[in-house]
Amino acid sequence: MHRYNCIIVEDEPLAAEVIKDYIEQVPFLQLKGICTDALYAMDLLQKEYIDLVFLDIHLPKLKGLDFIKALKKPPQIIITSAYQEYALQGYELNVVDYLLKPIEFNRFLMAVNKLKERGNGDALPVLPAAATERAALFFNVSKKRVKIYIDEILFIESLKEYIRITTKEKSILTKFQLGQIEEMLAKNGFLRVHRSFLVAKSKIDAFSATDVEINGEQIPIGRSYKDVVMSILES
């Protein structure tokens, strides 16, 4: 079994201790050090071969996102932060995952298991590095990486281990979880209307108490989502 050498970059002792405890419960993770700031982490990366960094964003001396940008060949990065507003910037830097504190162990496991998915070629979508570019995601489709512009997405449907992403021009099927893509698009005006559907709010043409209509497609509103969806759409 391959073991991933990892470090924690975190200036809050309690937060670092939680992640350390989680790492010790995962057989394929090997903790190599805890760094209280990014400069110390840079020094450690020069001395040790590190596969994975658990990185806080708000750090002394050098912020987490600036730390990633400063690395010529960064290892895999999982961001651990109490602030969700940096998630899109994190995914633009091709991080493995973005964990919001307080971090539950099952969510931690979901994140580290993505390392294996990447290793098998089922890489997660990545956003373009240049902040001025039109935001897009790349998905694995039949051994190719297909670009989907975020502002063209009409809706996303969950199909067990896969999702179908629909735009006006095309539809693609890719191995991914709806909850993961929902997190990535949290700040881009997407609305979960059903356990199996995520829709672009700006693309809704009509709605009722039971469904929304987008580009001629009727998408059901789940009973457990109805109150929240109605309050958003009627506001």
The pLDDT of residue 133: 55
Q: Which domains does the chain have, with CATH numbers?
A: 4-119 (3.40.50.2300), 136-233 (2.40.50.1020)
The pLDDT of residue 95: 92
The pLDDT of residue 233: 92
Residue 223: C-alpha distances to residues 110, 197, 211 (Å): 27, 13, 10
The pLDDT of residue 72: 85
Question: Beta-strand (E) ranges in 110-222?
Answer: 136-141, 144-149, 153-159, 162-167, 171-175, 190-194, 197-200, 206-207, 211-214, 217-220
The pLDDT of residue 3: 83
The pLDDT of residue 125: 42
The pLDDT of residue 113: 86
The pLDDT of residue 22: 92
The pLDDT of residue 83: 87
What are the pLDDT digits (tens) for 106-133?
Answer: 889 889 988 766 653 333 444 444 444 5
Q: Which of 40, 27, 25, 60 is nearest to 7 (CA)?
A: 40
Q: Which residue positions in the chain have pLDDT lower than 70?
A: 1, 116-133
Dig out the tokens for 208 from the structure.
């009722």
The pLDDT of residue 106: 86
**Entry pTM:** 0.53
The pLDDT of residue 126: 42
Residue 133 CA to its chain's centroid (Å): 19
Q: Which of 205, 232, 231 is nearest to 219 (CA)?
A: 205
Query: Would you call 4 helix, strand, or coil by DSSP?
Result: strand
The pLDDT of residue 37: 94
